[in-house]
């Protein structure tokens, strides 16, 4: 039985959009958590299960004390309970601002809060500074009164935090973008369904209150592929409702999209492409039944060949 289903196809796309929104929410929460850490950096005694921490900087070295190969550099900083290191990209604007405030003597009374990734030299964290403990001990020895209060096994990395934040932001935008795309496709599909229904109702008023009449009085009906020919309209009712006036069609062919996983066919989607007299394409999804879809479709093409000979069929 054929019933009007204006939302046919849209619901599935909205569900897919929701599935992408779930990880998007996760990435959004991760971004929020990273940007609002609850744990203060406490040197080598820091205890946290989070990747990010905050540290209040009371002073900073005038120049970077360690140059790292990955285009970052390390600055010696003073925090509440001692000294540690701050890793940042070269020419980092945030660090430049902190250095400027230190030179003006503003940090002692108004320390700058910095958010960064907590790095332990003993961890297996990717891109951690190699031989960090030895390097920072050598640095500490160059500054009076620093060595005894210097954290030598941990440091805070702005650059690592920025990289992680960028990655999560990109993933968030990607997931949200995909979700929006599916929602838009669903809305467009629904609009096309409505247009097809309205076209049929305008030409065949008898179908308005009894859509099933298209099946009952069809000139041709393929129940398997979900194809109807009613008078001079070709109709597909698989995954939506599409209708085209055959008198306006000059070319009709079958298009298959094949999806593979590891060289194995996982899915096939079939669409009838109708090219109208104005050269515009109109897509009509039909049910794909595997390799025999073309064979099954031949009956439809035979009918069209006999009753609408002006239409070029196939490629």
Q: Are 228 and 284 in contact (CB under 8 A)?
A: no
pTM over 0.75: no
Is residue 177 assigned to a domain?
no
Structure confidence at residue 265 (pLDDT): 53
Is residue 168 assigned to a domain?
no
Is residue 118 assigned to a domain?
yes
Structure confidence at residue 262 (pLDDT): 60
Structure confidence at residue 263 (pLDDT): 60
Is residue 188 assigned to a domain?
no
Which residues span the domain enclosing 301?
A: 218-313
Q: State the pairing for strand pair 154-157/82-89.
A: parallel
We report the CATH number of the domain holding residue 302 as 2.30.29
Q: Is the domain of 142 the same as that of 228? A: no
Is residue 284 assigned to a domain?
yes
Q: Tokens for 197, please give them.
A: 């229904």
Structure confidence at residue 261 (pLDDT): 64
Is residue 285 assigned to a domain?
yes
Is residue 287 assigned to a domain?
yes
Tally of domains within the chain = 2
Structure confidence at residue 1 (pLDDT): 72
b/e 180-214 (16+ beta carbons within 10 angstroms → b):
eebbebbeebbebbeebbebbeeebeebeeebeeb
Q: Tokens for 13, please give them.
A: 């796309």
Structure confidence at residue 202 (pLDDT): 93
Structure confidence at residue 267 (pLDDT): 74
Is residue 5 assigned to a domain?
no
Q: What is the mean pLDDT of each run of 10 residues along the chain (315 residues)?
A: 78 88 90 88 77 93 89 94 94 95 93 93 79 92 90 92 91 93 90 90 90 93 95 92 95 86 70 95 92 93 96 90
Q: Is the domain of 146 the same as that of 222? A: no
What distance in Å separates the CA atoms of residue 60 and residue 42, rounded to the nearest whole number? 17
State whether residue 315 is helix, strand or coil.
coil
Q: Is the domain of 145 the same as that of 232? A: no
């Amino acid at each position: 039985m054929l019933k009007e289903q204006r939302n046919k196809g849209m619901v599935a796309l909205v569900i897919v959009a929701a599935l992408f929104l779930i990880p998007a929410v996760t990435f959004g929460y991760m971004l929020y958590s990273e940007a609002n850490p609850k744990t203060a950096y406490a040197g080598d005694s820091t205890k946290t299960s989070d990747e990010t921490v905050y540290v209040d900087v009371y002073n900073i070295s005038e120049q970077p004390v360690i140059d790292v190969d990955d285009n970052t550099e390390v600055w010696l900083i003073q925090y509440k309970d001692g000294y540690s290191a701050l890793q940042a990209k070269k020419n980092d604007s945030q660090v430049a601002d902190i250095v400027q405030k230190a030179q003006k003597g503003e940090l002692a009374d108004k320390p700058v809060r910095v958010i960064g990734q907590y790095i332990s030299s003993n961890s297996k964290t990717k891109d951690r500074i190699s031989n960090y403990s030895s390097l920072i001990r050598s640095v500490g020895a160059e500054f009076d009164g620093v060595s005894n209060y210097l954290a030598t096994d941990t440091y805070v990395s702005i650059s690592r935090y920025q990289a992680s934040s960028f990655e999560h932001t990109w993933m968030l935008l990607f997931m949200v973008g995909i979700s929006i795309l599916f929602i838009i496709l669903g809305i467009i599909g629904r609009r096309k369904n409505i247009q097809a229904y309205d076209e049929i109702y305008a030409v065949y008023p008898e179908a308005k209150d009894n859509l099933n009449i298209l099946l009952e009085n069809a000139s041709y009906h393929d129940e398997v592929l979900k194809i109807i020919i009613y008078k001079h309209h070709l109709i597909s009712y698989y995954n939506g409702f599409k209708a085209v006036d055959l008198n306006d069609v000059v070319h009709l062919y079958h298009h298959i999209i094949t999806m593979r996983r590891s060289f194995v066919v996982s899915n096939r989607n079939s669409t009838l492409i109708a090219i109208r007299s104005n050269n515009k394409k109109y897509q009509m999804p039909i049910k794909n039944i595997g390799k025999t879809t073309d064979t099954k479709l031949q009956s439809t093409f035979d009918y069209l060949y006999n009753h609408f000979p002006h239409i070029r069929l196939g490629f």
